[in-house]
Amino acid sequence: MSLVQRALNKAKTNSEVPKSKPKQAQVQEQSKAQNNIDTQTEYALFKAAMTSDLAQLKTFSDISDKADYKAKAIEKNDYLGFLTQYRLRGDNYPNMVLAWVFVWLVDLKRWNQAIELLPLLIEQKQPLPTVFSTKHWPTFLIDQLYDDANYYLQNSCTKNDLANMAFTLQQVIHATRHQNWEGSEIAGGKLYAIATKLEATQHNYGNAVRFGKIAQQINEKAGVKTLIEKIEKKYLCNSSNASGQLSVTS
């Protein structure tokens, strides 16, 4: 049991006062009020834990030490368990724990868990921590993910690694499929452009063309025009060589 959960259980125990048996309507009202109190208490405790963790992180100068601390703090304080309950209850309030856990998951490259939280952050219009210049959650994620995916492309990673990264990008595309990229054209173009290049390395040329054209629609300077032309030429003019290699550096 996490330290936060122990504190929460103690707070609940202290708040329980024996009462005479009330009527059903009173029971429902008392139950609703108690649930609100419990939710507020729960968030206050997790917020305090996160505030403490953020202060502790400032004492580290080494990036790997910070990463190790974040990974351990997520488990120790059961932040993901709290966020699961937050979602299941349908809660919606400015949640700095949700925001920072997402940031940490991105920092730790735990992409699947981060992507799972992304639609909630967008839907609830949760504010990003003020230390970040962007106020747009998809942009924050894409900037980090783009660098990682580009590293995979430039460093001859295994086919399995490239396939996993391509799938991760597809998850982000699905999570942001209703996103209006107005004002964030660079981020949207980067997402679809890097997806185009990874799909091309996997010889998924249909996906590559589709993503590439979307990238150009979002941002005409997305940088995949030449690659798309090469792929379309192979499809239309020399389909027998469609399995050949293509350069994705254009």
Q: Is 88's pLDDT higher than 50?
A: yes
Least confident range from 111-120, 180-189, 238-247: namely 238-247
Q: For residues 52 and 100, give the distance between their C-alpha atoms in angstroms, rounded to a whole number.
A: 12
Distances (CA, A) of 171 to 60, 92, 167: 33, 24, 6
Global pTM value: 0.82
What percentage of the chain has pLDDT greater than the value 90? 74
Q: For residues 41 and 10, give the distance between their C-alpha atoms in angstroms, rounded to a whole number.
A: 11
Q: For residues 90 and 86, give the distance between their C-alpha atoms in angstroms, rounded to a whole number.
A: 6
DSSP string, 109-159: T-HHHHHHHHHHHHHTTPPPPTTSS---HHHHHHHHHHHHHHHHHHTT--H
Q: What is the pLDDT of residues 193-244, one digit of tens each?
A: 999 999 999 999 999 999 999 999 999 999 999 999 999 988 756 554 444 4
pLDDT at position 49 is 97
Least confident range from 1-15, 89-103, 149-163: namely 1-15
Q: What is the pLDDT of residues 160-177, one digit of tens each?
A: 999 999 999 999 999 999
Which band of pLDDT confidence, cut at 50, 70 and 90, is reported for residue 27? very low
Q: Is 37's pLDDT higher than 50?
A: yes
What rounded mean pLDDT belongs to the chain?
86
Domain ranges of the chain: 1-105, 133-250
